[in-house]
Structures are given as structure tokens and as C-alpha cells.
Amino acid sequence: MKKVLIAGATGAMGQKAVALVNSLPDVELTAVLAPHLTADQREQFHLAPSVQIFQELNQVTPGIADIWVDFTIPAAVYTNVNFAIEHHMAPVVGTTGLNDGQEAELIEESKQYQCGGLIAPNFGMSAVLLMKFAKEAAKYFPDVEIIEMHHADKKDAPSGTALSTAKLIDQVRPNHETNPAEVTTLDQVRGGDYHGIKIHSVRLPGYIAHEQVLFGGAGEALTIRQDSFDRQSFMSGVKVALDKVLDLKELVIGLENIL
């Protein structure tokens, strides 16, 4: 039985994580960390009587858990993960806000403490598998374009997943230019260009979060598509992380790297 602490257990994602852990047969929720959470709110947040409640990091009992699930806030995540590693609780981190330097430091520390862990910008299995498969297919199909489609309220383009996918493809794709002599009669119609990989961002109301990777070769095409309808989808990836994190020897970035 793996023991789990959830930091940020009262947030939107944290509550989903509590529900997930409560539903799994081989995992036990032993503690939560959440500022302001009081014992009389146990029922509201679906916390069994056995679950210890901590309001501050320095209260957390070492050894209370094997795994530290973190869905907190950018200001807290570095200190939390640091603490988890030092106390041999394998971190599973969905909180954003760590910069490259902090990630490097935490990886170094995880090696020193021989503590596995996972930091995942995206826990949605469909997005993670899309990225993994796209990277693999690009070895055989160097001609590739990406189309991502999101709701009209999304303010930035391209999406993080689309850009991450392009970067992964770029690592393995042979140098290649698809159509050097092309002429565009409408500016920008060929989309954004990441090292020769075209990216197209669509923004429409009704849409939620969708990404397609299109590969073409002589006489054939391969398309990988993922649709995220609901953040509930993140829990499938957290489940995979809970399964595998204790087998890791150090902190890993990206769920696709532990599949």
C-alpha cells in the first residue's frame, strides 16, 4: 500500500486528486497540506478520519507518505518539492511555475537523495501519447505540420502542447524543407514556423482544447489527434504517475518519459 500526501488538496485539481486516490485499491491517502483547511471541513473535501491535515509545510511529519502529489501554486512549488525530496517522498508535480534553473537544481538534488519523482506540465494521457507518437513518427515522416484548436478565450497562441510537440519532433526529424519555392498570396497563410515545422492555431468558441499532428509521405498520410474536453482527463496521467514514480531513480520531466 503506497502512502500519499496531497499538497493543495482543496484546489480544483487537488480535489480531483483526492477523489482519484480514494478510488484506487493500492494507494492510501495519509495526509493533505492545505492552508486554512480545518478538521470540520473533512467531509466537504472527502477526507477520511485517518487523513492528517497540515496547514503549513513545516508541520508535515517526515515519513507520513511515500509519494508527494503537488497541485499548489507557483509561489509554493519549489519549496514543496525540495522538502519532499529531502524527506524521501517522491514528488508528482502538476503545479506550474518552476523555471529551468529550479528544475535542474531539483533534479540534481533528487539524484543526491536517490529519490524518484515526476514533474509534468501535462497529465492528460491523450496529449502525452500524442507527443510521444509524434516524435516517433517524425523519424519516418519528416514532412509534418501541427494544427491546434482552442476556445476563443484562449489569449495566447500557439498552445503549449503544440509548441512542445514541435520541439520533440525537431529533436529527431531529419533536416528538411517541404516546399521551398512556394508563393503566398495572403500573408501568414502558411502559419507559424518552428525550425521548419509549420504550426497553425485555430481559435473558435465552442471548441475546448484539441491538437492534430499531420504527417505526409508519398501516397499516404498519418494523423494523430487528441481532444481534451475536461480537466478530469488529467487524473488518468496522475494514476500512471502514482503507479510508476516509486520505480524511478531520479526526478523526471514529462510524463511521456516514464511510459
Residue 13 within binding range of its own copies, rule CB under 8 A: no
Tell me if 42 is assigned to a ligand binding site.
yes
Output the nine-digit C-alpha cell for 250: 531520479
Window contacting its own copies (CB under 8 A); options: 33-41, 44-52, 112-120, 212-220: 212-220
> Active-site residue among 150, 198, 200, 210?
150
Report in angstroms how near the CB of residue 196 gets to its own copies at its nearest. Answer: 12
Closest CB to its own copies among residues 171, 188: 188
Dihedral sign (CA 86, 88, 89, 92): positive
Window contacting its own copies (CB under 8 A); options: 7-15, 32-40, 91-99, 227-235: 227-235
The reply to whether 150 belongs to the active site is yes
Q: Which helix (H) or strand (E) holds 194?
A: strand 192-194
> Active-site residue among 2, 46, 87, 154?
154
Residue 227 within binding range of its own copies, rule CB under 8 A: yes
- Going by C-alpha positions, the residue among 157, 221, 140, 225 that lies closest to residue 194 is 157
d(CA 245, CA 91): 8
Dihedral angle of Cα 243, 66, 118, 93, to the nearest 10 degrees: 110
d(CA 214, CA 78): 37
Output the nine-digit C-alpha cell for 24: 484506487
Report in angstroms how near the CB of residue 100 gets to its own copies at its nearest. Answer: 17
Rg for the chain, CA atoms, rounded: 21
Closest CB to its own copies among residues 13, 60: 13
Among 1, 39, 75, 189, binds its own copies (CB under 8 A): 189
Closest CB to its own copies among residues 75, 204: 204
Contact 28, 1 (CB under 8 A): yes
Amino acid at residue number 47: L
Window contacting its own copies (CB under 8 A); options: 23-31, 39-47, 90-98, 183-191: 183-191
Tracing cell 497563410 back to the chain, one arrives at 189
d(CA 77, CA 95): 7
Task: Tell me the CA distances in angstroms from 240 to 1, 29, 132, 222, one per residue in order.
Answer: 16, 16, 15, 27
Tell me if 89 is assigned to a ligand binding site.
no
Residue 168 within binding range of its own copies, rule CB under 8 A: no
Residue 217 within binding range of its own copies, rule CB under 8 A: yes
d(CA 5, CA 15): 13
- Number of amino acids touching its own copies (CB under 8 A): 76
Residue 125 within binding range of its own copies, rule CB under 8 A: yes
The reply to whether 16 belongs to the active site is no
Residues 31-60 that bind its own copies (CB under 8 A): none
Which residues are annotated as part of the binding site for NAD(+)?
8-13, 94-96, 120-123
Which residues are annotated as part of the binding site?
8-13, 42, 94-96, 120-123, 151, 160-161
Q: Which residues form the catalytic set?
A: 150, 154
